[in-house]
Amino acid sequence: MSKPDQFDVQVVKYADRKNLVLRYIDPYSGRQRTRSAGTTRQRDAERLAAQWEAELRSGQAAPRCNVSWEAFRDRYEAEVLPSLAENTRCLVGTVFNAIERIVRPKRLHDLSADRLSYFQSKLREEELAEASIQTYLAHLVSALRWAAKLQMIAAVPAVQRPTRAKKSKLMKGRPITLEEFERMLDSVAAVVSPAAVQSWQHLLRGLWWSGLRLGEALNLDWNRQDRLRVVYSGRRPMFAIPGELEKGNQDRLLPLAPEFAEYLEATPLSERSGPVFKLQARYGRPRTLTLQYVSRTICRIGKQAGIKVHTDVRTGRIKYASAHDLRRSFGERWARKVMPQVLKELMRHASIETTMKYYVGHNAELTADAVWEAYGSAEGKTSPTRSGETSTSS
DSSP string, 259-275: HHHHHHHTS-GGG-SSB
Q: Kindly state the average pLDDT of the residues 371-381.
A: 71
Domain check: are 118 and 204 in the same one?
A: no
Q: pLDDT class for 246, splitting at 50, 70, 90?
A: low
Q: What residues contact residue 97 under an 8 Å CB cut-off, 6+ apart?
A: none
- pLDDT(61) > 70: no
Q: Are residues 260 and 218 in the same domain?
A: yes
Q: Which whole number is the average pLDDT over 266-292? A: 79
Is the residue at 244 inside a domain?
Answer: yes
Calpha distance 321→306 (Å, rounded): 8
Q: What are phi and psi of 260, to 5 degrees?
A: -70, -40
pLDDT value at 65 more than 60: no
Phi, psi of 27 (to 5 degrees): -70, -15
Q: What is the pLDDT of residue 347?
A: 86
159 and 274 in a single domain? The answer is no
What does the pLDDT read at residue 341?
86
Q: Is residue 55 part of a domain?
A: yes
295 and 213 within one domain? yes
Q: Is residue 340 part of a domain?
A: no
Strand partners, 308: 320
Residues constituting the chain: 394
Output the CA torsion sign for 119, 120, 124, 129: positive
In this structure, the answer to whether residues 191 and 317 fall within a common structural domain is yes
Question: Which of 156-160, 196-200, 245-249, 325-329 is predicted with the least confidence, judged by mean pLDDT?
Answer: 245-249
Indicate if 210 and 277 belong to the same structural domain.
yes
DSSP state of 362: G
Residue 351 falls within a domain, yes or no? no
> Is residue 380 one of the residues assigned to a domain?
no
**What average pLDDT does the segment 364-376 reach?**
72
Band the pLDDT of 327: cuts 50, 70, 90. very high
How far from 18 is each of 15, 47, 320, CA to CA, in Å? 8, 18, 73
- The verdict on 125 and 235 lying in the same domain is no
Confidence band, pLDDT 50/70/90 cuts, at residue 394: very low
Residue 261 CA, chain-centre distance (Å), reads 26
Q: What share of the chain is helix, strand, coil (3-state, %, to 5)?
A: 55, 10, 35
Please tell me the distance from the alpha carbon of residue 29 to that of residue 72, in angstroms, as a whole number.
Answer: 12
Instruction: CATH number of the domain at 118, please.
Output: 1.10.150.130
Domain edge (last residue) among 125, 143, 167: 167
Q: Are residues 222 and 318 in the same domain?
A: yes
Same domain, 191 and 328: yes
Quick check: is 159 in a domain?
yes
Its domain, for residue 74, covers: 69-167
- Please give the residue that has the higher pLDDT: either 90 or 325: 325
Instruction: Please state whether the predicted TM-score (pTM) of the whole model is above 0.85.
Output: no
Say which residues have a Cβ less than 8 Å from residue 58's Cβ, sequence separation at least 6. Answer: none
Domain stop point among 112, 140, 167: 167
Structural domains in the chain (count): 3
Residue 248, pLDDT > 60, answer: no
392: three-class secondary structure by DSSP: strand
- Phi-psi bin for 193: left (phi > 0), alpha (psi -120 to 50), beta? beta
Task: Tell me the per-residue pLDDT of 23-41, one tens digit each, with 9 for 90 and over.
Answer: 988 765 567 888 898 999 9
Residue that terminates a domain, selected from 332, 358, 377 = 332
Q: Is the distance from CB of 84 to CB of 125 less than 8 angstroms?
A: no
- Number of Cβ atoms within 10 Å of the Cβ of 142: 14
Q: Is residue 243 part of a domain?
A: yes
Residue 204 shares a structural domain with residue 82:
no
What spatial distance separates the first Cα and last Cα of the chain, rounded to whole Å?
78
Among 139, 141, 121, smallest CA distance to 130 is for 121
Q: Are residues 221 and 310 in the same domain?
A: yes
Count of beta carbons in the 10 Å neighbourhood of residue 296: 13
Kindly state whether residues 73 and 122 are assigned to the same domain: yes
